[in-house]
Amino acid sequence: MKLKNQDGQIAKLIELETQRQKETLQMIASENHSSPAVREALGSLLTDKYAEGYPGKRYYGGNEFIDKVENLCIDRAKKLFKVEHVNVQPHSGSPANMAVYLSLCTPGDTIMGMALDMGGHLTHGAKYSFSGKLFKSVQYHVDEKTYLVNYDEVEKLAKEHKPKLMWVGFSAYPRILDWKRLGDIADSVGAYLAADIAHIAGLVAGGVHPSPVPYVHIITTTTHKTLRGPRGGMIMVTKKGIQKDSELPRKIDKTIFPGIQGGPHENAIAAIAICLKEASLPAFKKYAKQILLNAKALAKALQEYGFNIMSGGTENHLLLIDLRNKNITGIDAQNLLEASGISTNRNSIPYDPAGPFKPSGLRVGTPAITTRGMKEKEMKMIASWIDEVVANPKAAKKIAQEVKKLCKKFPLPK
Q: What do you get for the CA distance between the two ends of the chain, in Å?
A: 19
Residue 279 to residue 349: CA distance in whole angstroms: 32
The closest alpha carbon to 171, from 200, 142, 191, belongs to 200
Fold of 40-279: Aspartate Aminotransferase; domain 2 (3.40.640)
Average pLDDT on 148-159 reads: 97
> Which pTM value belongs to this model?
0.97
pLDDT tens across 281-312, in order?
A: 999 999 999 999 999 999 999 999 999 999 99
Fold of 285-409: Aspartate Aminotransferase, domain 1 (3.90.1150)
Listed by start position, the domains of the chain span: 40-279, 285-409
| Residue 60 · residue 48 · CB < 8 Å | no
C-alpha distance from residue 109 to each of 104, 163, 205, 334 (Å): 10, 7, 33, 39
What's the one-letter identity of residue 268? A
Residue 355: per-residue pLDDT: 81
- The secondary structure of 152-201, three-state, reads HHHHHHHHHHCCCEEEEECCCCCCCCCHHHHHHHHHHCCCEEEEECCCCH
Residue 216 to residue 183: CA distance in whole angstroms: 6
356 pLDDT tier (thresholds 50, 70, 90) = confident
pLDDT tens across 171-214, in order?
A: 999 999 999 999 999 999 999 999 999 999 999 999 999 999 99
Average pLDDT on 351-380 reads: 96
Q: Say what percent of the chain tops pLDDT 90.
A: 99
Residue 343 to residue 372: CA distance in whole angstroms: 15
C-alpha distance from residue 28 to each of 38, 70, 334, 376 (Å): 20, 30, 10, 18
116, pLDDT greater than 70: yes
The closest alpha carbon to 112, from 30, 173, 196, belongs to 196
Residue 1: per-residue pLDDT: 67
pLDDT tens across 266-282, in order?
A: 999 999 999 999 999 99
| Burial (Cβ within 10 Å: 0-12, 13-18, ≥19) of residue 335 | middle
Residue 357: per-residue pLDDT: 85
Which residues are known to be catalytic? 50, 52, 196, 222, 225, 231
Residue 153: per-residue pLDDT: 97
311: left (phi over 0), alpha (psi -120 to 50) or beta: left
**In what order do the strands lie in the sheet containing 308-309?**
308-309, 318-322, 361-365, 345-347
pLDDT tens across 339-350, in order?
A: 999 999 999 999
The conformation of residue 32, written as its DSSP 8-state character, comes to -
